[in-house]
Structure 1
Amino acid sequence: MRYCSTRGGVQNRDFREVLFSGFAPDGGMFMPETLPAVSPETLRSWTGLRYQRLVLEVAALFIPEELIPRGDLEALVAEALSGFSVPDSVRIARLKDGLSVLELFHGETLAFKDLAMSCTVHFLNYFLRRDGSRAVVLVGTSGDTGGSAVRSARSLPGLDVLVVFPRGRITAVQEKHMTSCLEDNVHVFAGRALVAMVNANDIVHRTVTSGDFSMAPSVTQTLAPAIDIQDPYNMERVFWLLLDRDGAAVKTMMEEFQRSHRLRLPENQRRLLAEVLVTGAVSDPGILETMRRCWEQNRYLLCPHTAVAVWHHYNRTHSPARNRCYVATASPAKFQAAVEKAGLTFDPPEAVLALDQLPTRYQNLERSADWCEDWEERLRDWIQFVSRTRKNGGVCYPENP
C-alpha cells in the first residue's frame, strides 16, 4: 500500500511517512494510490466481528505488515481501545420506529474522535519507540479533536502534543478535557478569532445541492459547535474521488478556493456528487425539537450534533421496512447548555462532574493587527522550546508535581 497527495505532487509514500506528515508537502491530503478491494464474501464474514477485530482487519488493508507486523498491530489496536467504558468500545441503541443510534462516544473525552485518535497516537508512539526518536504534534481543534489528542497522548515518552482551541466557541467540558491535562508533554493554547447533515454552517449542503463550495462571511455559532466550520477539509478527498483521482484538477480547485474562498462546481461534477451524497441543513430550533422528540418517544437523550443527523429520521419520508442507523458523535454530557435549552434534564456522569475540581493550564493567544503571523511565531517558538528541552533531557513545566 502506497499513498499519494490529492493534488498530484506527491506519490509513492508509505504509511509511516504519511502518518508523520499530516498534510502532504504540496498542500493536499494523502490518499491510497490504489483503494483496497474487499469482496462481498469478506464483508459478509466481517458482519459478526467485534469492533476491535474489525478495526484490526480494516487497518491491515492500509498498513503493510513489513511496517507493522500483524501481531504488533493487533496489540496496538487492543491497547488503544482498552480504555473505553463499554465492552466493545461502541454500542448500538435500538429505539422506536426503526431508529437506531450508533454510540461512538464511550472514550475518555466522550466523543467519536477518541476511537481514531487513540489508534493514531499508538501508531505514532510505536514508530517513535522503535526508532528511538521524538515528535511534536500540532493540533487545531473546533472542540473534540484536541481533547482526544491530549488524553490519548498524555505521558507517552516520545510525543509532545500542542493544541490550539477557539476560546469561547466550545463547551466547558470540551475545554476542560484539554486544559486539565497537566502532563509535561501536553501544551494547550487558547485563541479567539478565522475558526452529510450539517448545521447552519452549511457549506457541504450548498456544494451538493447547488455546486456552491464557498465560505460564508463568518462562522455561525450554533448549538453544535464541533461542526461550526467553514472549511471542511475532507471535502478535498471527496473531490479527488469524484474527479477520478485527477490530482491536477483538484490542485486547481483547491488553490482557487484558498485564494478567493469561493468555488463553483460545474453542473456535471455536482450531479456526480449528488448521486453518492445526500445532504440537509438543520437550524438550532430543529436541533432542539429533535432532542425533545427523541426523548419524549424513547427516553433517549441526543447530543446536539447527533440531533443534526436524527432530524433526518423525523423529517424525511422513509420506507417503513427499512431500519436506519444514525451516528452519535458525542455524549450529551458535553453539551449541557443545549440539553437545558431543549427543556430537558440530564445527570452528568461522575467523570464529567470531576472536571470542575481539576486544576487547569493553558496559554492565551491574543488578537492583534497581525494575529495570524503573531500566532504562528508564538507557536513556532514554543515548538522550538519543547524540542530543545527534550533534547537536553529537561521538563517544560517544572512547577508541576
Structure 2
Amino acid sequence: MAPDAASRYRSTRGGGEVCDFAQALLNPRPPDGGLYVPEGLPHFGPDELEELHRLSYLQLAERIIAPFIGDALAAGELAGVLARAYRGFEHEEVVRLRALDGGTLHGGPLHLLELFHGPTLAFKDVALQLLGTLLDDILSRQGQRRLILTATSGDTGSAAIEACRNCARLDIAVLFPHERITEFQRRQMTSVQQDNVLCLAVRGDFDDCQNLLKAALGRGEALTGAALMTVNSINWARLMAQVVYYFYAGLRLDQGGGVNFAVPTGNFGNIYAGVLAGRMGLPVRRLLLATNRNDILHRALVGNDYSRVQVQGSVAPSMDISIASNFERLVHFLTDAQTTARLQAEFAESGVLALPDAAWQCARELFASSRWDDDGILQAMQQGQQRYGVVLDPHTAAALAAAQQYGDEHPTAVLATAHPAKFSEALVRAGLGEFTAEADTRLATLRERGERFEVIDPDLDSLQKALGGSSLGGLG
C-alpha cells in the first residue's frame, strides 16, 4: 500500500476522480452515486498493537485517524481537534468499557462498551462531535459555509444538531419522520432554539426522509442557493471515528484469541467500522449483528436476500429501516467497483440484491446475524436487569440477545448505543418502569424549553419552501 493510500478516496462504483479527505468530507456522495472509500487501509502489526494498547482514548484516536486525514490538517493539529470534539463528554475516556456482573458466555467474559456518554446520550455523538469540529475547521480555512441537510430515525438528528449548533460555518436542517420517533428524541432536536438549526417533521417514515434527502442533495445548490452536504452515516469521517472505539475495547479485552463484538444494526455504519478495524489488524473474531423486525440485513446474511420491504414500527426505532445505506461499502469490500456498480444498479431497478456466492460466503464468515421481534427485545431488556444488573435501551438489548445466542469462549463486547433514558416507553413495556426516573427528569427539562419545528410533506417543493422561510444562513 502506498504511504498515502488511506487519505486518497474513490467511489465504491469506480467512477470519478480520486479525491482527498477534505473533498470526501465536504462532498460525501461521489458523482456516480456511490460512496467514498479509501484506496487502502493502514495496518497495525503485533508490536504496534501493543503500543496502541497503552494509549488513552484521545491518543489512540490520533493514531488511528491520522492516516485517513493526510494533509487536510497541519502536523500536530489533529490532537487539538480531538480534544475540542470530545471535551463535552461525561466520561474522561469518551467511552466506557465495563464487565457485566456474572457475565460469562460459554466461559468467555461479557463486557458492555458504553458509547452514550456524549451530549445527546447516543453513540452517534462519538462520530458527529468530531465531524462537526473537522467541518468547522476546514471550512474556516477555505472561507466557505455549508448547509447540512440530514435525515434521522431517532438519534442522528440530535447528535448532528449538537455537533453543529455552535459552529460558525455551519447551518443544519434535520428531517425526521412525523410521530415515528420518541418524544425524548424529538425534543432533543426541537428544543434547540438557535438560528442555524431547523427541524422538519416529514409526513411519512424514515425512508421517506431518506428519499427526500437524496433528492435534495441531487438538486444541490440549485435547491436553496446554499452549498449542501450531509452528515449521515454515508460520510466517511463518521466510520473513521467509529473504528477507534473498536480498537479501544478490543485491545483491552483480547486474551490472544480475538474478540467478538455484538452490534445493534440499522444503516450498517457502526458494524462496518468493526469490519474495517479487523482489516486494520485488530483481532476481531466475529461481528454479531443484531436487528429488529426490519430485517433486510439479517435476510441478506442468512439467505443472500437483500430485498426492500415496507418498514414496520418497532420498540427499537433506530433500526426501523428498509435499506441500509452503508451496505454498499460491504458489497465493495467483498467484491470490486465494477461488481458494486452493477449490483447497485440492479437494486435501484428491482429492489433486490444478491451477492456473488463467494462474496456471500465471506460475509457469513465475518458476521453472525440475528433478528429480534419486539417481544424478544423486551425480554432481553428484562434479562439485562435481572441477570446482569444493567438497564439497557432496546437497541443494546438486541445486541445483548445476539451475544447470548452466539457468544463463545472468547471475550465479547456488547456495544451500548444509547442511554436507556432515551427510551422510557420501552422500559415501561419491559416491566422496568421503576427505572424511568432519570428519563422523566431529563424529559421534564426538555419540556421546559419548548419546541420549534415544522411539519412538511415528503416532496422537494415543501422542503424548498420550509428552507426558504427559515433563518438558516440568510436563506429566508
**Could you report, residue by residue, the CA deviation over 1:175-194 in whole angstroms, capped at 9, with x for unpaired residues?**
11111111000011001215
What does residue range 153-302 of structure 1 map to in structure 2 within 5 Å? Answer: 153-193=164-204, 195=206, 196-216=289-309, 218-243=310-335, 246-302=336-392
User: Aligned ranges for residues 72-87 of structure 1 at < 5 Å?
Assistant: 72-87=77-92
For 2:454, the aligned partner's letter is: Q
Deviation at 1:358, TM superposition (A): 1.2
Structure 1: how far apart are the matches of 2:97 and 2:187? Answer: 27
Partner of 1:2: 8
Find the counterpart in structure 2 of residue 341 from structure 1: 429
Alignment-derived partner of residue 354 in structure 1: 445
Which residue type is aligned with residue 2 of structure 1? Answer: R
Percent of residue pairs identical: 35
SS in 1 for 2:60: helix
Which piece of structure 1 moves more, 190-199 or 326-335?
190-199
TM-score, normalization by structure 1: 0.90
Q: Which has the higher contact order (CA 8 A, sep 6+)?
A: 2
- Please give the alpha-carbon distance, in whole angstroms, between the structure 2 residues aligned to 1:23 and 1:151: 23
Cα distance change, pair 316–133 in 1 and its aligned pair in 2 (3 A): closer
Match of 1:42 among 37, 40, 48: 48
Alignment of 1:100-179 (within 5 A): 100-179=111-190
Compute the displacement of 1:384 (Å).
5.7
Contact 1:294/1:301, CA 8 A, preserved across alignment: yes
Which residue does the alignment assign to 2:239?
none
* Alpha-carbon offset, residue 273 of structure 1: 1.3
> TM (normalized to structure 2)?
0.76
**What are structure 1's unaligned runs of at least 5 residues?**
397-401
Partner of 2:456: 365
The answer to whether structure 1 residue 377 and structure 2 residue 469 are counterparts is: no
Question: Which residue type is aligned with residue 89 of structure 1?
Answer: V
The SS at the match of 1:63 is helix
User: Which residue type is aligned with residue 88 of structure 1?
Assistant: E
Q: What do residues 47-70 of structure 1 show as CA deviations (whole Å, max 9, x unaligned)?
A: 122212211111101001x32023
- Secondary structure of the equivalent of 1:278? strand
Look up the equivalent residue of 1:87 and give its one-letter code: E
CA distance in 1, matches of 2:378, 2:177: 24
> Which whole-Å deviations, capped at 9, do the CAs of 1:276-311 have from their partners, x for residues lacking one?
122111111111111111101222101100011100
In the alignment of these two chains, the number of paired residues is 379
Structure 2 CA distance for aligned equivalents of residues 165 and 272 of structure 1: 35
The answer on whether the counterparts of 1:155 and 1:184 sit within 8 Å (CA) in structure 2 is no
Select the residue among 371, 393, 399 that pairs with 1:303. 393
| Matched residue, 1:399 | none
Q: Report SS of the residue matched to 1:353.
A: helix
Tell me by how many angstroms 1:223 deviates. 0.8
Structure showing the higher helix proportion among its residues: 2
Q: What CA distance in whole angstroms lies between the structure 1 residues aligned with 2:73 and 2:181?
A: 37
Distance 1:31 1:184, change over 3 A: same
Give the whole-Å Cα distance in 2 for the aligned partners of 1:342 and 1:287.
9
Structure 1 position 386, deviation (Å): 6.3
Q: Give CA deviations for 1:80-132 in whole Å, capped at 9, x if unaligned.
A: 10001111111112112222100000111110000000000111000111122
Kept after mapping to 1: 8 A contact 2:198/2:470 = no
Deviation at 1:153, TM superposition (A): 0.7
Letter in 1 for 2:172: V
How far 1:380 moved relative to its partner?
A: 3.6
Q: Does 1:25 align with 2:31?
A: yes
- CA deviation digits over 1:179-214, x for unaligned, max 9? 111100001100121522111111111111111010
Partners of 1:60 and 1:70 within 8 A in 2 = no
Are residues 24 and 386 of structure 1, via their aligned partners in 2, closer, same or farther at CA, if it must alter by over 3 Å? Answer: farther
Tell me the equivalent position of 1:68. Answer: 73
Report the AA paired with residue 149 of structure 1. A
Q: Following the alignment from structure 2 to structure 1, what is the Cα–Cα distance between the partners of residues 205 and 339?
A: 26
Which range moved further: 159-168 or 45-54?
45-54
Deviation at 1:269, TM superposition (A): 2.4
Higher-strand-fraction structure? 2
Q: CA deviation at 1:152?
A: 1.1
Equivalent-residue separation in structure 1 for 2:130 and 2:10 (angstroms): 22
Q: CA 1:172–1:194 in structure 2 vs 1: closer, same or farther (change >3 Å)?
A: closer
Post-superposition offset of 1:264: 2.3
- Point out the more displaced range, 199-208 or 89-98: 89-98
Q: Which segment drifts farther, 263-272 or 273-282?
A: 263-272
Deviations 1:23-75 (A, max 9, x none): 211110000012222222212211122212211111101001x3202322111
User: Match of 1:339, SS?
Assistant: helix
Shift of 1:327: 0.2
The AA in structure 2 aligned to 1:247 is A
Matched-pair contact (CA < 8 Å) for 1:290–1:314:
no
Q: Is the 8 A contact 2:178 2:201 kept in 1?
A: yes
